Amino acid sequence: MRVKFWGVRGSTPTPHPENLRYGGNTSCVEVRIGDSLYIFDCGTGFRALGQQLRSEFNSRNICAHVFVSHFHWDHIQGIPFFGPLYDKPENRFLFHSSSRTRSLKRVMEEQMTSPYFPVDMTEMKAHRAFYDFEEGSMPLDDVVVQGSWLNHPQGCMGFRIETKTGVLVYATDNEPGDPEFDKNVRKLAAGADVLIYDSQYLPDEYIARKRGWGHSHWREAINIVMESGAKELVLFHHDPDHDDACIDNVVKEARNYYPKVRAAAEGMELIL
């Protein structure tokens, strides 16, 4: 399993010089398992992934499973700018998301209607299929994907990807403090080789003024890793106001509690 980060920022893109090492694009993570391609979230990093796939596949067809955790802007902003959706009918994209609030197909259509966007979804030539994915497990080829609800306004789905070579958990946009959801995220992360987890706020920021905003902090991330038995922690969904120096300090402090911690950065790759 190869994991690559294309967007690691939360809330809004931050294309500023002080953010260049970690990156300013919003959530998008690529997972390769053999010849199969899985994509988690479609923030502005989704555009850069599309450029890479066009270059890599050239005239070959692209097929991918795309999991969308929820429909807030920073997780869908890249969809209208993902080049392979416009190229040819032989490209196939299978979208998986919850329809608890509304369907992803409807969200995409509304996102690209006037006055928000100059062209609509009829310009997209690629084959698109939409599947409702709620809590539970779904086998895909030689992979099992498990979904679990996280604590976030309007809801957010966390994902666990189980393969013969390792277990990856993608759990972004989760707020601690609710016993049911706290149990959910620990169960999702249990024994995982890598946990990608929301650490948008600093602990003091969260306590002072961010309760109820739907996000977590690095100290809670450490708690989850230590209580779930996950092996490595990747801090994710960095706050727009946290520059590279701030994130460096977060990683340094977090490693005082747990050694296998790193912060997600655009272009970073992990091999499981």
The predicted structure's pLDDT at residue 38: 98
Query: Do 39 and 67 form a contact (C-beta atoms < 8 A)?
Result: yes
Give the C-alpha separation, 200 to 101, whole Å.
Answer: 24
Give the mean pLDDT of 228-254: 98
**What does the pLDDT look like over 109-130, one tens digit per residue?**
999 999 999 999 999 999 999 9
CA distances from 47 to 4, 7, 53, 56, 235 (A): 14, 10, 10, 14, 22
Question: Helix (H, G, I), strand (E, B), or coil: what is residue 193?
Answer: coil
- φ, ψ (nearest 5 deg) of residue 40: -115, 110
Domain count for the chain: 1
Pairing mode of beta strands 143-150, 127-132: unpaired
Give the C-alpha separation, 70 to 173, whole Å.
Answer: 9
Query: Does pTM surpass 0.85?
Result: yes
What are 79's two structure tokens? 């969809």
User: In terms of residues, how long is the chain?
Assistant: 272
Residue 157: is its pLDDT beyond 90? yes
Mean pLDDT of the chain: 97
244: number of Cβ within 10 Å: 18
Domain of residue 199 covers: 2-271
**What does the pLDDT look like over 186-240, one tens digit per residue?**
999 999 999 999 999 999 999 999 999 999 999 999 999 999 999 999 999 999 9
CATH of the domain at 73: 3.60.15.10
